[in-house]
Amino acid sequence: MPVTAPPAEETDVLRRQDPEIADVLLGEARRQADGLQLIAGENFTSPAVLAALGSPLANKYAEGYPGNRYHGGCEYADAAERIAVRRATALFGAAHANVQAHSGSSAVLAAYAALLKPGDTVLAMGLGHGGHLTHGSPANFSGRWFDFVPYGVDAETGLVDHEQVAALARHHRPKAIVCGSVSYPRHLDHAVFRAIADEVGAYLIADAAHPIGLVAGGAAPNPVPYADVVCATTHKVLRGPRGGMILCGEELAERIDRAVFPFTQGGAQMHTIAAKAVAFGEASTPAFSAYAHQVVTHARVLASALEAEGFAVTTGGTDTHLVTADPAPLGVDGRTARARLAAAGIVLDTCALPYGDGRGIRLGTAAVTTQGMGIPEMARIAALFGLALRDDGAEAARVRAEVRELTGGFPPYGR
């Protein structure tokens, strides 16, 4: 689904006034168009989302919530936020949405602030098995302020070990259980997590930062009916502006809102909220649903083509936009693979391998699908992976040229 170019005048104004920064932005736009963008949490927003982000709503202070602000002149800020909330609640079937969270991490921070006290025990996926920094990393507020107990995936299947989750919950009696991951390629079973949380009297927090866009398009199960609080981002598969969102039932609405503002944040970023509203509007269309299903199809095709190239694909495939794999059978570890692929213009991340040595690679198909690539391109991408990684990267220049040729046919913002 290629989109058209952002308006040229915007960049012309910047170029006349500040050519140094204009060059940086142009360089980044070219970099995005020129390489294969396979970072799992990235996407290309529409020009309409970019227009909202670059609008004068960026100038507005609007601490508080619609109808109850600390500042005057909020009539349009209120309208933007009411529209965003209305669209988000309708899209995800939630009673309440907070669209002010600045990011996915801010959303999780606010969820913990609403439900927990410092020192409380929380059960979450271990970082080495796919948990996010906010799921108990010692480098993050979560690991410093709460007592995290990690659960993991099964050594044989790579799937979440529900027996272990239940046993840990019974033993540690956590105040909250977090389900969500940065790299788990399969659907989580929210009903199972709900049953475990109910058995031990814990809150269930779904951190759906990655799959929420698939949920919007009906291509992944919705955590909203099961979780007490759903945290999400708006910039991954959902294809909106960089930002966060929290969904919950009516009974927690006020606690969640107060945990965002004034507890953990100040003034809302109203231009981003307007852009979130635009993205929710786009995500409510049949075209977006078709997109979300294509993203999953493409990830499945890419996963099996990578397996044919020799990669050890985690869980043997995917249900989502995410693919994780160990490139060890090709004679490289994840870090070397990432560097060699980057040299060829293929951009992705490394990830933890729960039971392997070293690191694996993690990629997603959201951005390339937005560009309009299809099943034939997924097969071509997997072949380029093999070429780039075998023979000590001797084919790097050839792969770089082929990546340019491939991406040249799918400009993300038109020609």
Ligand X SMILES: *Cc1c(COP(=O)(O)O)cnc(C)c1O
Contact set with ligand X (CB under 6 A): 41, 103-105, 108, 132, 134, 180-182, 207, 209-210, 233, 244
Nearer to ligand X, 89 or 137 (CB): 137
CB of 232 to ligand X, least distance (A): 9
Q: Quick one: how far is CA 400 from the chain centroid?
A: 27
- To which residue do tokens 């598969």 refer? 237
Is 282 among the catalytic positions?
no
d(C-alpha 239, C-alpha 246), whole Å: 17
Question: Please, how many CA atoms are within 13 Å of residue 267, restricted to the half-sphere of its CB?
Answer: 13
Residue pair 122/149 in contact (Cβ under 8 Å)? The answer is yes
d(C-alpha 252, C-alpha 250), whole Å: 6
Is 242 among the catalytic positions?
yes
Nearer to ligand X, 69 or 132 (CB): 132
Token pair for 165: 């989750």
Burial (CB count within 10 angstroms: exposed 0-12, middle 13-18, buried 19+), residue 44? buried
Nearer to ligand X, 181 or 294 (CB): 181
- Catalytic residue among 42, 45, 134, 207, which? 207
CB of 414 to ligand X, least distance (A): 27
- Catalytic residue among 63, 147, 189, 307, which? 63
Nearer to ligand X, 207 or 309 (CB): 207
CB of 21 to ligand X, least distance (A): 24
Residue pair 213/222 in contact (Cβ under 8 Å)? The answer is no
Nearer to ligand X, 205 or 306 (CB): 205
The identity of residue 210, as a single letter, is H
The candidate with the shortest Cα–Cα distance to 158, out of 194, 183, 135, is: 183
φ and ψ at residue 347, rounded to 5 degrees: -110, 120
CB of 104 to ligand X, least distance (A): 2
Long-range contacts of range 6-13, CB-CB < 8 Å, 24 or more positions apart? Answer: 6/47, 6/50, 6/51, 6/413, 7/47, 7/51, 10/54
Angle between helices 162-172 and 190-200 (to 10 degrees): 20
Nearer to ligand X, 111 or 278 (CB): 111
The candidate with the shortest Cα–Cα distance to 354, out of 199, 86, 128, is: 128
Nearer to ligand X, 182 or 387 (CB): 182
Is 297 among the catalytic positions?
no
Residues, the chain: 415
CB of 314 to ligand X, least distance (A): 16
Residue 233 belongs to what H/E stretch? strand 229-233
The candidate with the shortest Cα–Cα distance to 52, out of 269, 368, 288, 209, is: 269
- Catalytic residue among 87, 194, 242, 338, which? 242
- Catalytic residue among 60, 194, 236, 359, which? 236
CB of 244 to ligand X, least distance (A): 6
d(C-alpha 40, C-alpha 369), whole Å: 12
CB of 50 to ligand X, least distance (A): 18
Is 78 among the catalytic positions?
no
- Catalytic residue among 15, 34, 61, 380, which? 61
- Catalytic residue among 233, 272, 318, 365, which? 233
- Chain residue at closest Cβ approach to ligand X: 104
Q: Give catalytic residues, as residue numbers.
A: 61, 63, 207, 233, 236, 242
